[in-house]
Structure 1
Amino acid sequence: MDKKTLRQYRALLNEQILNDKAIDRLYDRATQVPTVMGKVVGSSHDFPYIEVRSSVQMDEPKEADEIERRLRIRKERQEQIRSAVIEIEQYIAEIPDSDARQIFEMAYIDGRKQHEIADELGYSRGRIPQIINQYLKD
């Protein structure tokens, strides 16, 4: 794990909220797609299978396909975000030292400044980045 990835945690949570809202808007838009008459070709159920043309009501194809494509993209991104968030949380949870784990949670999950963490935990201000750097690669 590196600092750049950890710093993305709060941004990922915000992106997740925005993405969820976009998905909701797409579902709302999908319910408002106009219905049009279309023709489909099929075959009769019995032998000999004769081609049959039927008129059906269906959602407007271009708009419905566009919404479906956008939903698929948003859902894929949603899964990527969830995976990244879980990876960060799991990394922090697996830090063996309790003080170091608290420092990581305060710094990267809560978004607190290093001087605030030092004051709360009783460390010098220079010690916090040293502890963080022990567990991270750049």
Structure 2
Amino acid sequence: MDKKTLTQYRALLKEQEMNDRAIDKLYDRAADVPTVLGKVTGSSKNFPFIEVRTTVQMDEPKEAEEIARRLRIRKARQAQIRKAILEIEQFISKIPDSIDRQIFELTYIEGKKQREVAEEVGYSRSRISQIINEFLKD
């Protein structure tokens, strides 16, 4: 895990909310897609089986497909976001020392500055930086 990935946590949460809203809007839009009459081809039920064209009601194909495509894109991104968030949370949860874990949670999950974290856990700001750097070495 690196600092850049950890600092993305809060941005990922915001992106997840935005993506959820966009998905909701797409579902609302899908519900309002106009219906049109379309022709489908089948065969008659009895022998001789001849081609039969039937008129059916269906969603307007171009708009419905556009909405479906955008939903697939948004849902794929949502899965990527959830995976990244989970990886960050798992990394922090695996830190063995409670104070070190608190430092990471306060810094990266809650977005506090190292000075604020230092005051909260009773360390100096430079010690907070040292602890973070020890865990993030390659």
Shared fold by TM > 0.5? yes
4+ runs deviating over 6 angstroms: none
**Per-residue deviation, 1:95:** 0.5
Alignment map for 1:93-108 (pairs within 5 Å): 93-108=93-108
- Per-residue deviation at 1:125? 1.3
Q: What TM-score do you get using the length of structure 1 for normalisation?
A: 0.97
Deviation at 1:101, TM superposition (A): 0.4
Local SS of the residue matching 1:79: helix
1:113 partner amino acid: K
Distance in 1, Cα, partners of 2:108 & 2:29: 36
1:59: Cα distance to partner?
A: 0.5
Residue identity opposite 1:9 in structure 2: Y
- The runs of 5 or more residues in structure 1 that have no matched partner are none
Aligned residues: 138
Displacement after TM superposition at 1:24 (Å): 0.3
TM-score of the superposed pair, with normalisation by structure 2: 0.97
CA contact (8 A) 1:3 1:137 kept: no
Deviations 1:105-127 (A, max 9, x none): 00000000000010111101110
3-state SS of 2:125 partner:
coil
- The two structures, once aligned, show a CA RMSD in angstroms of 1.0
Say whether 1:46 aligns with 2:37: no
Q: CA shift at 1:76, angstroms?
A: 0.4
Identical columns (%): 72
Shifted more, 38-47 versus 127-136: the winner is 38-47
**AA paired with 2:54?**
S
Q: Which amino acid is the alignment partner of residue 97 of structure 2? A: D
Q: Deviations over 1:73-94 (max 9, x none)?
A: 0000001000100010000000
Q: Is 2:72 aligned against 1:59?
A: no
CA drift at 1:31 = 0.7
Q: In the alignment, residue 14 of structure 1 is paired with which amino acid? A: K
| Secondary structure at the counterpart of residue 126 of structure 1 | helix
1:10 aligns with 2:7: no
Distance 1:99 1:31 in 2: 50
